[in-house]
Amino acid sequence: MSLEEYYRRLDLPETASQADVKRAYRRLRAKYHPDRNKGREVSVEPVFKRIQEAFEILTGKRKAPLVTASASTAGSERYPDTAAREPRSGPPMRGANCLVELFVPLEAAIHGGEVEVSYAVNGPCRQCQQRGSECAPCYGSGQSVSGRRCSACGGTGRPPATDQCSMCRGSGIGTYRKSEAVKVPAGAWDGQRLVVEGGGHPGANGGPWGDAIFSVVIVCGADFHRDGLNLACEIQVDFVTATLGGSIEVPILGQPLQIAIAPNAHAGSTIRLPKRGLADRNGMRGDLTLQLVLTMPAAASYLSDDERQRLREMFADAERRAMHVAAPR
């Protein structure tokens, strides 16, 4: 038997959607069910069984029986191509894209990394799915057992307004939080768009999800000052290194940097590192400026009284020489 016959049993065209199949089945079930036809069970039961069979085959709950091919394909047997003609509630539609601001720390913007983000997407109301989205008295058919318009839903087949879902208020759409780990490339810039395929709103009728489009917003922490693409921060240098000069290792933005300190560096002096700042869409990079903050070396706590006295004498002698050089001649 062809699929056309199963559609005819439900008084439907071959183009009927799955929702149409379900509505027709519920309407005919209410009309021909033996329990609702007392005294006529013998006559309605065969009809009811044919309706039941058609519904189960068209919704995939039962396989259609093998059919014999026509004369042009004699000698072979096959199943009807139910997969290619599976009834749907509508054509698959791709979900909408969603645009989300992605707040990216300086470290990830400069060196790259992953940023966790949570954002809202729309989808079928879960509460509706759990409670059902059809009028209970008429099983979603819109008609009563007698064939008249259902008084509860007014013939719509949907739950009456007094029984609407409290979560979506009858719209059938809910809002949910979704999380993604977004990969941020090194040298990301403000306004750069990063796309996560399938991260957007869900599609309709089994269609693919839309994309999530993230717009980069670079976040500058309290330790850094930003001026366009240029960055500035403070680094601590002990007064011995500042006085004598030397090299120190400083962790900046998650990476250790070797910094050369010139002799006689004073508090507030700066060191500029070209092209260590942020980037723009054209690949231009700003600078990173380090401002020195002098600190006491840890070893100072272990100086003896004699060592402290020698330091006083050394600095006093140096101060006398400085005054001598500065004195007018």
Please, what is the end-to-end C-alpha distance for the chain in angstroms?
Answer: 122
Domain identity same for 300 and 280 = yes
Domain identity same for 99 and 215 = yes
If one counts the domains in the chain, the total is 4
Task: Transcribe 179-234 into DSSP letters.
Answer: EEEEEE-TT--TT-EEEETT-SPPPBTTPPP--EEEEEEEE--TTEEEETTEEEEE
- Alpha-carbon distance 44 to 36, whole Å? 10
- Report yes or no on 84 lying in a domain: no
Give the domain range for residue 42: 3-78
pTM reported for the whole predicted model? 0.59
61, 101, 103, 66: which is closest to 220 by C-alpha? 103
- Report yes or no on 302 lying in a domain: yes
pLDDT 10s per residue in the chain (329 long)? 567 778 888 888 777 777 788 888 888 888 888 877 887 777 778 888 888 888 888 877 676 554 333 333 333 333 233 333 333 446 778 888 999 999 999 999 999 999 999 999 887 776 666 555 567 667 677 776 666 788 777 777 776 655 667 667 666 677 888 899 999 999 999 999 999 999 998 887 778 889 999 999 999 989 999 999 999 999 999 999 999 999 999 999 888 999 999 999 999 999 999 999 999 999 999 999 999 999 999 888 899 999 999 999 998 998 888 888 776 76
Domain identity same for 17 and 61 = yes
- Report yes or no on 277 lying in a domain: yes
By DSSP bridging, strand 224-227 and strand 230-238 are antiparallel
Domain identity same for 299 and 228 = yes
- Report yes or no on 37 lying in a domain: yes
Domain identity same for 238 and 313 = yes
- Report yes or no on 111 lying in a domain: yes
